Amino acid sequence: MQPDVQDVIPQRYPFQMIDRFLDVKPGVSAKAVKLISINEWFFANKKADNLVVPRSIMIESMAQTGVAAILSMPEYSGKNAFFGGIKDAVFQDDFRPGDRLEFEVELKKLKHNIGLGHGTITRDGQKICDADLIFAVE
């Protein structure tokens, strides 16, 4: 399924970090895309010659993608999910304006209101980040 971002996650501008979902499989996985623009709020007042997206923003984008796999499940409909933490994250490169990023998060475990997921960020088919994420549902 391809739900609208605002129908699934509660974040709104400027904290909504993904542009659209490519695929959401409730309770299993989610895939989303983000086009990095030079007009992003986190680039304000930065020198234009070396604009780099903060890695914490990329982790939050990945978390929002994973939350969609949880909140699209009927038993969690109408609830809120929180990013509980990072177990591990490895970055191969930085992210810059003009990048088209794909986020994919697969849920590894979901028990009661705690979930574990593994996420990746790819750019042009190349994996740039791997992370293990923790989620908590309200």
Are residues 105 and 122 in contact, defined by beta-carbon separation less than 8 angstroms? no
pLDDT digits (tens, 9 = 90+) for 103-136: 999 999 999 889 999 999 999 999 999 999 999 9
Q: Structure pTM?
A: 0.92
Q: How far apart are CA 5 and CA 40, in angstroms?
A: 18
Residue 51 pLDDT grade (very low, low, confident, very high; cuts 50, 70, 90): very high
State the pLDDT at residue 21: 96
Q: How far apart are CA 92 and CA 99, in angstroms?
A: 15
Residue 9 pLDDT grade (very low, low, confident, very high; cuts 50, 70, 90): confident
Residue 63 pLDDT grade (very low, low, confident, very high; cuts 50, 70, 90): very high
Cis (ω within 30 of 0) for the bond into 14?
A: yes
The 3-state secondary structure of the chain, one letter per residue: CCCCHHHHCCCCCCCCCCCEEEEEECCCEEEEEEECCCCCHHHCCCCHHHCCCCHHHHHHHHHHHHHHHHHCCHHHCCCCEEEEEEEEEEECCCCCCCCEEEEEEEEEEEECCEEEEEEEEEECCEEEEEEEEEEEEC
Report which of 3, 116, 14 is spatially closest to residue 68, judged by C-alpha positions.
3
